[in-house]
Amino acid sequence: MPDLNLILLGPPGSGKGTQGERLQEDLELPYYATGDILRAAVKEGTEVGQTAREYMERGDLVPDEVIIGVIAERLGDSPAGHGFILDGFPRTVPQAEALDAELDKLGRQLEAVILIDVSDDEIIRRITGRRVCADGGHIYHVEFSPPETEGVCDIDGSELVVRDDDRPEVVRNRLDQYHEKTAPLVSYYEKQALLNRVDGSADPDQVAESIRSLVSTLSLEEG
């Protein structure tokens, strides 16, 4: 199979993490969620990781150029030599431009950007329906995986609560921010003929099959 350098885009709650892990298993490629990369670089004490740590310890946002540096370290490592799956980055057009520049330095390019498309109403339904066990952290959903007794954890009997970041007003704010930052990014990749939309409202298995079909097509085109 030819090298595949992929980006997963989608709103919070669209299932990027689930689909990214499945794709990682299918393609045997490293899957990089931006937060995980940043934490790993800090833990490993790389030069860029030490710079990131300074910002994080002060409680400041890590600047784009530092995040790009951390990601460039990973994409230049041997595990990513035959491709990668990147999730959570880029989030803005300047970040996308910086990523393009770093890939160009490595003599590489993106093969595809996969947008897992889910409506705001569906995202709100998914996230606000989550309930978490106050003691053990066990997760339920009022529609998809309800407890036997409403409001009570099946496993330890503790109260099920709504996390602060799962409240409707918080979810709507997160979606507003996503659309504000990501709409220009979608256009950016559409102009490069890299954007591929997948219906994320379907069953996770169906979404995974759609992505597999898309990747198979890409592999044939690149081969």
Q: What is the mean pLDDT of residues 79-98?
A: 90
Domain of 172, CATH number, reads 3.40.50.300
Establish if 10 belongs to a structural domain.
Answer: yes
Establish if 74 belongs to a structural domain.
Answer: no
pLDDT tens per residue across span 15-25: 998 899 999 99
Q: What is the mean pLDDT of residues 36-55?
A: 85
CA distance 195 to 90: 13
Provide the residue range defining the domain that includes 174.
4-29+82-222
Report pLDDT for 119: 95
Establish if 218 belongs to a structural domain.
Answer: yes
Establish if 67 belongs to a structural domain.
Answer: no
Establish if 176 belongs to a structural domain.
Answer: yes
* Residue partners of 123: CB distance under 8 A and separation at least 6: 11, 12, 13, 14, 171, 175
Say how many C-beta atoms besides its own lie within 10 A of residue 87's C-beta: 24
Report pLDDT for 169: 93
Residue 3's pLDDT band, with cuts at 50, 70 and 90, is confident
Report pLDDT for 159: 95
Establish if 49 belongs to a structural domain.
Answer: no
Number of separate domains in the chain: 1
Establish if 110 belongs to a structural domain.
Answer: yes
Q: What is the mean pLDDT of residues 90-103?
A: 92
pTM of structure: 0.84
**Cα Dmax for the chain:** 57
Report pLDDT for 110: 94
Residues assigned a catalytic role? 16, 91, 130, 163, 174
Asked which of 76-85, 87-96, 129-138, 153-162 is least confident by mean pLDDT, the reply is 76-85
Residue 72's pLDDT band, with cuts at 50, 70 and 90, is confident
Mean pLDDT for all residues in the chain:
89
Asked which of 42-46, 91-95, 161-165 is least confident by mean pLDDT, the reply is 42-46
Contact 82, 24 (CB under 8 A): no
Establish if 58 belongs to a structural domain.
Answer: no
